[in-house]
A and B are shown apart, each in its own frame.
Chain A
């Protein structure tokens, strides 16, 4: 069974700083999604990474995928308060469904 581990689970950072969230998964998967959830809200798709070495950037967020290492990263550059949310990674299984990590709750402080 696929296990998805995100770390850190909780992240408090200052505005303007950089940080990386890691997502490790335990079985073969060549596609992975990142989602964002604001408190009390539903999930919003951020990135889809379709192949080994894929890199996607949107504003201050950049996601990458290394399928050989079974690792995806979400890098935050010069954090701002609006990025405070919970971020989930979700690799796609061979039977085409997804599993989510436990989420990383990010708080950006002024």
Chain B
């Protein structure tokens, strides 16, 4: 089991370009979470998805950011027209089951993160 795979690990973009970050959850995990971590700061929740559904996107900026988790393939966090303030580490995490169905099983397994630098 390869764990949560994120790519690219490092991404450099110029202002105005698009950034696409990919996350493949652990095998058997159907819940994906995206978090952003600014330098020297904590994790900020962005979005929580299940396959083909966005469950909670209350942490996503209203513009330029979008996320999906298709039936097949990885979850993708897309940032359009990047600005310098988007420079951060973006962590994806996955979990196997709904917390409600299996309390305590919602231990998030985190990927290694994708570090975005906007020049």
Contacts and interface: CB of A to CB of B under 8 A. Distances in A.
A50 interface: yes
B58 to A, nearest CB: 7
Interface string A10-46: 0000000000000000000001010100000111110
B56 A103 contact: no
Q: How large is the interface on B (under 10, 10 to 19, 20 to 34, 35 or more residues)?
A: 20 to 34
Interface in B84-102: 91, 93, 98-100
Contacts of A6: 42
B69 interface: no
Contacts of B42: 6, 86, 88, 100-103
A45 B108 contact: yes
Contacts, number: 64
Interface in B59-103: 91, 93, 98-100, 103
A88 B111 contact: no
A95 to B, nearest CB: 6
A98 interface: yes
Contacts of A33: 106-108
Interface in B1-56: 33, 35, 41-45, 48, 55-56
Contact of A103 (B43, B58, B110): B43
Nearest to B48: A97
Contact of B99 (A41, A96, A99, A102): A96
B113 A42 contact: yes
Nearest to B100: A96
Contacts of A50: 103-104
A92 B56 contact: no
Nearest to A41: B112
Contacts of B58: 1
Interface of B: 33, 35, 41-45, 48, 55-56, 58, 91, 93, 98-100, 103-104, 106-113
Interface of A: 1, 6, 31, 33, 35, 41-45, 48, 50, 86, 88, 90, 92, 95-103
